[in-house]
C-alpha cells in the first residue's frame, strides 16, 4: 500500500477512574510534559469528569473525548449520554465499541456502527475499537473476527474516524502483543480497510494499538510502519507514565 505520513495519535482512556480533584491535578501536569511531543493527544474521562477535564485542558492542544455515546440525539435513555451532550461538555472525540462496552453491555457491531455515525453527525471523531479474544487468536480465527468487526462497525461509513486495534487478551493484563503480531495485524486491517473505503483513504487512516502499553514497550511497537499511536488505559492514569509513552515515540 502507498506509504503516507500519518500524524501520531495517543489516547488516554481513564475508564471508571478519578474524581474531579484528581482530574484537575492531572490537567495541570500533562500539558507541560508533552509540549514538545510529536502527535495529537486525547484524554477520555468518565462523563462526570468531562467539564472539569475540558476546562483544565483549555488552551492546551490536548483534546477531550467521551468513552461512549448513545446513537439517538436525545430522548428517554436513562444513564446514557448523547453526542450533543459530549460536544457541549467540550469533547471532540469519542470511543466507540471499546471491548469493555462490548463485554459489559453486549454492544454489537451494528450498535457500534450507529454510534460512530451519530458521533460524526454531531461533529465528533469516533475512535472505533476492535479486538479478538484470546480463544479467537489461539484458534487461528483472529483475522476473520477482526475483519467482521471492522466491516460491521464501519457499516454506516462514518467519516472522519480513527481505528484502535485492542486485542482483548492484552487489555489490562500486562500481556502486550509483540511488535511483530501487532504490525501483522495492523497491516491486515489496513488492507481490509482499503477494501471498504478505498486504498487512498485506508492509507491515511490512523490505526492505534491498545493493550498494556507502557513506557518500556511503546517505542518498539511504534517503530512498526502501520502502528500510528496508542490507546492507553492503565498507564494513562499517571501523567508521567502517559507522557513517557508519548515522548518515547518522538519529540
Binding site for ligand PEP (CB under 6 A): 13, 15, 166, 171-172, 210-213, 231-235
Q: Is 76 exposed, middle or buried (0-12, 13-18, 19+ CB in 10 A)?
A: exposed
Nearer to ligand PEP, 167 or 194 (CB): 167
- Minimum Å gap between C-beta 206 and ligand PEP is 15
Nearer to ligand PEP, 20 or 237 (CB): 237
Indicate which residues carry an active-site annotation.
Answer: 98, 166
Nearer to ligand PEP, 158 or 242 (CB): 242
Radius of gyration in angstroms for the set of CA atoms belonging to the chain, rounded to a whole number: 17
- Minimum Å gap between C-beta 200 and ligand PEP is 28
Minimal CA–CA distance to 229: which of 11, 4, 3, 5? Answer: 11
- Minimum Å gap between C-beta 74 and ligand PEP is 28
Amino acid at each position: 500500500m502507498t506509504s503516507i505520513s500519518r500524524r501520531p495519535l495517543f489516547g488516554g482512556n481513564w475508564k471508571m477512574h478519578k474524581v474531579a480533584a484528581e482530574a484537575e491535578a492531572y490537567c495541570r501536569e500533562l500539558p507541560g510534559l508533552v509540549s514538545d511531543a510529536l502527535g495529537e493527544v486525547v484524554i477520555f474521562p468518565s462523563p462526570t469528569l468531562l467539564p472539569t477535564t475540558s476546562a483544565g485542558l483549555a488552551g492546551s492542544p490536548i483534546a477531550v473525548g467521551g468513552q461512549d455515546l448513545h446513537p439517538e440525539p436525545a430522548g428517554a435513555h436513562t444513564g446514557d449520554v448523547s453526542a450533543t451532550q459530549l460536544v457541549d461538555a467540550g469533547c471532540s472525540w469519542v470511543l466507540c465499541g471499546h471491548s469493555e462496552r462490548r463485554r459489559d453491555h453486549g454492544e454489537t457491531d451494528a450498535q457500534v456502527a450507529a454510534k460512530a455515525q451519530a458521533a460524526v453527525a454531531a461533529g465528533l471523531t469516533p475512535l472505533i475499537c476492535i479486538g479478538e479474544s484470546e480463544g479467537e487468536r489461539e484458534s487461528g480465527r483472529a483475522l476473520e473476527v477482526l475483519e467482521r468487526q471492522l466491516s460491521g462497525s464501519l457499516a454506516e461509513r462514518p467519516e472522519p474516524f480513527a481505528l484502535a486495534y485492542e486485542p482483548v487478551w492484552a487489555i489490562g493484563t500486562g500481556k502486550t502483543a509483540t511488535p511483530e503480531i501487532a504490525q501483522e495485524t495492523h497491516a491486515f486491517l489496513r488492507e481490509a480497510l482499503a477494501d471498504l473505503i478505498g486504498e487512498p483513504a485506508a492509507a491515511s487512516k490512523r490505526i492505534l494499538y491498545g493493550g498494556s502499553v507502557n513506557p518500556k514497550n511503546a517505542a518498539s511497537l511504534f517503530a512498526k510502519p502501520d502502528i500510528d499511536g496508542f490507546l492507553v488505559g492503565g498507564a494513562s492514569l499517571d501523567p508521567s507514565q502517559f507522557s513517557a509513552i508519548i515522548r518515547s515515540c518522538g519529540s
